[in-house]
Amino acid sequence: MKKITLLLTTIFLISACSQNDQDFEADPASFVEYVWHSAGPEFTAENLAMLINKWNSIIDGINCSAMTGANILTPKAANDGYDFIWVLLWDSQDGRDQCWADWTENQQAAWDETIDEIMEYDLDNVYLFKPTLGKSPKMENNTGSFVNTFYFCTYNDGYSNMDLVSYQNELNSIDGFSDYWWYVTLEPQFEPADPKPDFVWLDLWGSDEDKASDQAKFSQTSLPAQVDEKFSCLPDIGGTSFNGTVIRR
């Protein structure tokens, strides 16, 4: 599998070729969708930036106003299922469905030719979620990059959504976390595979340094013990983490 660390270089190429370089993070979408992608033999940072620019031009030219932004997520650790994830942000499910229908009928065949040998997408691994904002960032992140971590969690015996709300209230009352940190919970709009999570937790930071600082502060509170008592989350050590690049705003 080709390494995709060069996506970090692509951040700067995207800034040069796209006007959509703001981060969406301060205002989460009504729906967020994750589309798995794999790199082809001709994958380079330059080719990816070129495709992103062409894709943005296509979206600008079709009736797809329901799309409110897009990102690319690169896994911190290699994953056998994908090299990176194309993230689509939507303001409604009806608008999302209409845009996908237009894309499938009028754009997909030409796009498949354009991306041939550079990358491919997996329509068997497309996942739509409805986010609920847990805490807003203190400041909007306009850098065009971020890092995030997913946890897929179930309630331990005797615990429920009320305990999650109580945990969130205590977490939100703590001062001193980084300015760009925020989080959402994600509700699957599909039938998840077993073990089915009761909730999906997504943390977002402005940088790895912010993440490390916040996690160190978090570890000095009573909250890690509460997590162990109330919830079982996968992955259980560190979650699933990504570097994020904003490609459309």
pLDDT in tens, 205-243: 999 999 999 999 999 999 999 999 999 998 877 899 999
pTM: 0.90
Residue 27 has a pLDDT of 53
Q: Which residue has the higher pLDDT, 114 or 15?
A: 114
Neighbouring CB atoms inside 10 A of 177's CB total 20
As a whole number of Å, the CA-based R_g of the chain is 18
Domain 137-244 adopts which CATH fold?
Alpha-Beta Plaits (3.30.70)
Q: Is the pLDDT of residue 117 over 90?
A: yes
Alpha-carbon span 74 to 4, nearest angstrom: 7
Structure tokens at 206: 């402005």
- Which segments within 30-76 are labelled E, that is strand? 31-39, 67-75
Residue 106 has a pLDDT of 96
Residue 13 has a pLDDT of 54
Helix (H) or strand (E) run with residue 216 in it: helix 208-219
Alpha-carbon span 7 to 3, nearest angstrom: 9
Question: Considering only the top CATH level, what class is 7-129?
Answer: alpha beta
Residue 63 has a pLDDT of 85
Task: Pick the most confident of 8-12, 25-29, 156-160.
Answer: 156-160
pLDDT, tens only, 149-166: 999 999 999 999 999 999
Same fold for the pair 7-129 and 137-244: yes
Domain boundaries, the chain: 7-129, 137-244
Query: Average pLDDT of 163-189?
Result: 97
